[in-house]
Amino acid sequence: MRRVAVTASASGNGKTTVGRLLADRLGVPFLELDSLVHGPDWTEISDEELRALVEPVVAGDGWVIDGGYRGKIGDLVLANADVVVWLDLPLHVWLPRLLRRTVRRIRGKEQMWNDNKETVRNTLLGRDALIPYALRAHFDRRRRYPRELAGYPVVRLRNQAEVDRFVRDAGAI
């Protein structure tokens, strides 16, 4: 296992944390797709630009990529992965994590990719705000992913013990 795609049912499942840990354990580069997609003021790069940035990475011998952006680049990441790690933690686990992280980022005015910051408005208010989007995604992906990911080598992790065990054993796989 040298090329790993990490996906999740919703934000807050730990994609970035797990991705970084796996990349470290495997000794391969880590790429968080959000950092490429979200330009200044949350503007998104074009699908073509994203594909041009990701293609050379997935052509490499080893990597861990956080996210898939299938709506922008299709199955580019999944099709090149040795394993797809699907973090599918229960709502009562990931939602409090997401809320704590969001409050921390807003209070601390943490800068994210390309000087973006989370605000009350972009995390709570409106249909496309982070929290409402995460809730919708959780239920939607749990319905769709078993079918959509069936053609890939998927490891579905449903609780923190499974996540911890997978990360711990990753170097041996």
How far are the Cα atoms of 68, 83, 119, 162 from residue 1, in angstroms, in the given order? 18, 7, 38, 17
Judged against a pLDDT cut of 80, whether residue 11 lies above it is answered with yes
Side chain identity, residue 45: I
Query: Is the per-residue pLDDT at 172 higher than 90?
Result: no
Range of the domain at 117: 3-172
CB 89 within 8 A of CB 9: yes
Give the residue among 9, 12, 58, 13 at the shortest CA–CA distance from 33. 58
Q: How far apart are CA 22 and CA 28, in angstroms?
A: 8
pLDDT of 128: 82
Report residue 110's pLDDT band, with 50, 70 and 90 as the boundaries.
Answer: confident
C-alpha torsion sign, points 129, 133, 135, 136: positive
CATH of the domain at 41: 3.40.50.300
Indicate the pTM of the whole model.
0.93
Mean pLDDT of the chain: 94
**Beta bridge partners of residue 156, listed in sequence order:** 86
Give the pLDDT of residue 173: 54
Per-residue b or e along 117-130, where b marks 16 or more CB atoms closer than 10 Å to that residue's CB:
ebeeebbeeeeebb
List the structure tokens of 70: 């299938």
Q: Is the dihedral of CA 15, 117, 102, 44 positive or negative?
A: negative
- What is the tally of structural domains in the chain? 1
Summarize pLDDT for 130-153 with one digit per residue, the tens.
999 999 999 999 999 999 999 999
Identify the band that residue 127 occupies on the pLDDT scale cut at 50, 70 and 90: confident
Q: For residue range 20-65, list pLDDT tens digits in order.
A: 999 999 999 999 999 999 999 999 999 999 999 999 999 999 999 9
